[in-house]
Structure 1
């Protein structure tokens, strides 16, 4: 299933993201676990189902600085975001802000290594219906009237899209693109198709690929796949 091109109108700014997360975190019922769950999507670009599967033992949360999360492969349902994902475990960096949020949640609930990182306050599973409802409530309260009626942040998965966009923004070598693709568990050509606004001029992308392939640094299978992109994404 081919993932749709990301519409920039859906993407929250850092300030809007933080305001939404802060409002959710202050809710008396399930606010803190909900904020921690959504933060893992917003700062580590996890799919919601990947975040829900996360165990405490999968998170390296140092006293200072960045950490990382180990994401284990899960079967994605047809229609899920980028259902093409690869099959092996992957390591995703956790920025210091995310580390602090997760450490606070582990300490607050006294979680052990085998415990699920994200559940409701009553230890029941955090369902899609619950977190989507809270997300829509947050939009209604935090965003401006014209933003509420727009596509801006209309889906929880838009947090993942905004994080990927930030990782890809600016000049990126082909090797950096492959690194981001591995981090988010999609192919590099899929990133190019889904986030075309993040890439340097297409001709430069293809030139970088050709030079790297001639040097033996990029496998020809990858080169062939990227060169097969639609004309709008290549010279």
Structure 2
């Protein structure tokens, strides 16, 4: 927020007659800081001098930094929503992951449609959205010239958005928030999507406050609530061990080179991106004749597929740190005997990619790694296609139509739920899964089976022991309803 003051002093216009031309300088001071402004003609100087004098006489505060009356400073510093949104993207870009960059662009493109000052001459909505999403709100793309269709849409958008100062109007701010609550086809958006996009809009407006274009974040003054979201895992997606084994067997029939990928998600509760990052050097498998059949996986990062347009190096794949961890952090995870067997089989049958990755693009009957793909990993589209086929083959028609294990990520939910229900302490499960204990219990509360039955048994036992007693002690006072 800019500092303002009423301590203003304005001097008479100073005339300077030089060898070639005469200039006129207006001088004034705000809180003792002097500001000069020189004009080529006396008429221009008098006009500006009159503006300053009128503002001071009418009691308008002056901006201490620029020295101008607040109304003039605001006009001088006007910035359109489009210009500000592009600046916000540029500020966030260097430190944001590819996935977060996409999320920012999607949110800003959505809200921009509510902040156009007119619809006159507006390009096709799909064309305009594409221009905003792929070019305007992509710092790397803006370094190159846009194609003709994009250029036309960008020019229109740049010239027809409201000023960022207009967001002070609650009607404008509410309109922007309401735009987040619907999808492109006009249907209600998912609560998690609304919350994510609102966070981006809030951040963009907070950046405007930081730069001095707004005095406060206007969202804080609007009574608009994000629809309630549930962070709990839907217990309907959680498979039991028998169902999980059927699914893994179906994957082995469909694409045997990916069985170990899904096995890591189920048996070790790995996120898909963490499993894709695994290399042979991260596996610590026991000797086959050893006494302890358990192994261990050392997670060192995650591999995100975000698209080449959102990555710094133009690669569709991005290696990142573990979620919510420092860049060099690691996380050890136990590998149960079932997972050890699957990983041994994978290494024996398929080996690794040139850089030691377990799950790389493969071709041919024997699943050889694709030539030249030394640092590539299996694409999301590939493993999701295999998963859909495995679900159809392994599940009954009723199970297939249900949410049961609809996404590969649901295998991780099943793994964490299994560990909790097996009685593994929540602190240990949280450590293995890469969660805090609070988040773990909040997310998986609905998947904890057996708690109700145990509670009921305790109540029955307590009532039974009471009824088997010989009656009240005659030496103790009798207690009746309504009497002490």
Write 1 or 2 for the structure with the bigger share of helix. Answer: 1
Pick one of 299, 315, 319 that aligns with 1:71: 299
Q: Aligned runs of 1:76-115 on 2, under 5 Å?
A: 85-87=324-326, 88-111=329-352, 114-115=355-356
Residues 1:35 and 2:262 aligned together: no
Matched residue count: 192
Write 1 or 2 for the structure with the bigger share of strand. Answer: 2
| Cα 1:95–1:185 shift into 2, 3 Å | same
| Cα 1:112–1:119 shift into 2, 3 Å | closer
Distance 1:185 1:177 in 2: 12
Higher RCO (Cα < 8 Å, 6 or more apart)? 1
Structure 1 position 121, deviation (Å): 2.9
Structure 1 position 138, deviation (Å): 1.4
On the 8 A contact 2:305/2:380 being kept in 1, the answer is: no
Aligned counterpart, 1:166: 418
Distance 1:77 1:94 in 2: 25
1:14-43 Cα deviation digits (max 9, x unpaired): 11111111011023xxx2221111101010
On the 8 A contact 1:86/1:186 being kept in 2, the answer is: no
On the 8 A contact 1:67/1:99 being kept in 2, the answer is: yes
Aligned counterpart, 2:430: 181
| Cα 1:101–1:170 shift into 2, 3 Å | closer
Tell which deviates more after alignment, 91-100 or 116-125: 116-125
Q: Aligned runs of 1:117-136 on 2, under 5 Å?
A: 117-122=358-363, 123-124=369-370, 125-136=377-388
On the 8 A contact 2:268/2:334 being kept in 1, the answer is: yes
Aligned counterpart, 1:50: 274
Structure 1 position 93, deviation (Å): 0.2
Structure 1 position 143, deviation (Å): 1.0
Aligned counterpart, 2:407: 155
Distance 1:121 1:134 in 2: 14
The alignment's TM-score, normalised by the length of structure 2, stands at 0.37
Aligned counterpart, 1:212: none
Pick one of 396, 403, 416 that aligns with 1:144: 396
Distance 1:36 1:9 in 2: 24
On the 8 A contact 2:277/2:303 being kept in 1, the answer is: no
Q: RMSD value over aligned CA atoms?
A: 2.7
1:44-101 Cα deviation digits (max 9, x unpaired): 00000000000000000112301000001348799xxxx9633320100001111111
On the 8 A contact 2:275/2:302 being kept in 1, the answer is: no
Distance 1:74 1:134 in 2: 21
Q: Which runs of 5+ in 2 are unaligned?
A: 1-195, 197-228, 307-321, 364-368, 371-376, 453-484
On the 8 A contact 2:257/2:350 being kept in 1, the answer is: no
| Cα 1:101–1:85 shift into 2, 3 Å | same
Structure 1 position 109, deviation (Å): 2.7
After superposing on structure 2, the runs of 4+ consecutive aligned residues of structure 1 that deviate more than 6 Å are 75-78
The alignment's TM-score, normalised by the length of structure 1, stands at 0.73
Residues 1:13 and 2:240 aligned together: yes
| Cα 1:76–1:86 shift into 2, 3 Å | farther
Pick one of 268, 277, 285 that aligns with 1:61: 285
Aligned counterpart, 2:132: none
1:166-215 Cα deviation digits (max 9, x unpaired): 1111545xxx21121111111100001101132868xxxxxxxxxxxxxx
